[in-house]
Amino acid sequence: MEARRDHLNGAIKDVELLRVESRPHARLGRRELFGAFKNNGHRVYRYKIAVEYSGGVQTPAGRGIIQPGEVVSEHLLTEAPYDSIVVWFDGECPCDVPDDLDGHWRRSWPAPEPVVPDDENPALQ
């Protein structure tokens, strides 16, 4: 079950949600939530983020590529009650687990309390 372990050692283990920040949005002119994700691994992953509300309704958020060691900040939503952040990842994996429709790995985090960054610079997204 080597491949299975390698699979679990992929994006699920490598990528963490550092924090959710409440920042003024440069273009929208109001406070919005941004998720900061970090890739602690050695592989490159493509990701696709959704915000999940109670009842399982999901709203698509950002998508992109995260490099090894990189921290990305993605716009999640207007400040509002939500349940969790769901992220699908794709990347190289030696296993034969079939890809989900949305990606090879799926990970979700319960909505954390947002933090207000000290610098308060509007996010440029």
Which positions touch Zn ion (CB under 5 A)?
A: 7, 93, 95, 97
Report the alpha-carbon distance of residue 108 to residue 116 in Å, rounded: 22
Report the alpha-carbon distance of residue 9 to residue 80 in Å, rounded: 33
H/E run at residue 12:
helix 11-14
Which residues lie closer than 8 Å to 9 by C-beta, 6 or more apart?
none
Shortest spacing between CB 52 and Zn ion, in angstroms: 23
> Residue 63 corresponds to which amino acid?
R
Instruction: Decide whether 5 or 27 has the Cβ nearer to Zn ion.
Output: 5
Shortest spacing between CB 11 and Zn ion, in angstroms: 9
Instruction: Decide whether 103 or 114 has the Cβ nearer to Zn ion.
Output: 103
Shortest spacing between CB 4 and Zn ion, in angstroms: 8
